[in-house]
Chains A and B, each alone.
Chain A
């Protein structure tokens, strides 16, 4: 039973446009959410996080939005660059500190 779901296995976007990656979760005990980026042959790299007390967090070109009532979060990348092409993982955690991961969305940014 996937507690964290990334329903789009892949996404293709033109350079300069917005990339929107979505993530849904089922466990209402989750209160901290993270996005990681992974290139082939490398471990995941932390990108941005958001606590459940917020509904938005921004870091440069990356913004994460959290809709607690819908149990949904999204990562916006604006503008998208070819170097952003990677697999993006959404992860969630609660008091037990176990990170529960989605299966990832492969983003391709085309020049």
Chain B
């Protein structure tokens, strides 16, 4: 099976712009979670989607949003970018998103905000 893919791999934006990141989960996986990784904060949970519905949400401002399509592909959007949004954004998929499911991660999108 193909792994989790994320596009683009690298992105440079300026403050105030908005950005959309894409994630294609492993075929058959219905749960997609997004994480932000920064050196000082580690991996921070953003949100989880399951069957096109947001099932769980972390403590991020409303500028961070996402959606999931019927084919389980997911997009994450960040509006009005701030310098502090520079991070590695990771997407993970799992079959059902239950506690004991293994999450499979993509390689991430490195976002730099100037």
List residues of A whose CB falls within 8 A of some B CB: 31-32, 36, 41-46, 49, 51, 89, 91, 93-104
- B102: chain A residues at CB < 8 Å are 46, 49
Instruction: Indicate if the CB atoms of A45 and B105 lie closer than 8 Å.
Output: yes
8 A-B interface contacts by CB (under 8 A): A44-B43, A46-B104, A94-B99, A97-B56, A97-B99, A98-B45, A98-B58, A101-B45
The answer on a CB contact under 8 Å between B107 and A99 is no
Contacting pair B103 A46 (CB below 8 A):
yes
Query: With A41-B107, A46-B104, A51-B100 in contact, is A97–B42 under 8 Å at CB?
Result: no
From B45, B58, B98, B105, A44 is in contact (CB under 8 Å) with B105
**B32 contacts A by Cβ under 8 Å:** no
Contact pick for A99, options B41, B98, B103, CB 8 Å: B103
Q: In the complex, which of the residues B35, B43, B98 has the most CB atoms of chain A within 10 Å of its own CB atom?
A: B43
Q: What residues of chain B lie closer than 8 Å to A31, measured between beta carbons?
A: 99
Q: Is the CB of B107 within 8 A of A103?
A: no
Distance A36 CA – B100 CA, assembled complex (angstroms):
14
Whether B97 pairs with A97 at a CB distance below 8 angstroms is yes
B40-94 contacts to A, CB under 8 A, are 41-45, 48, 55-56, 58, 90, 92
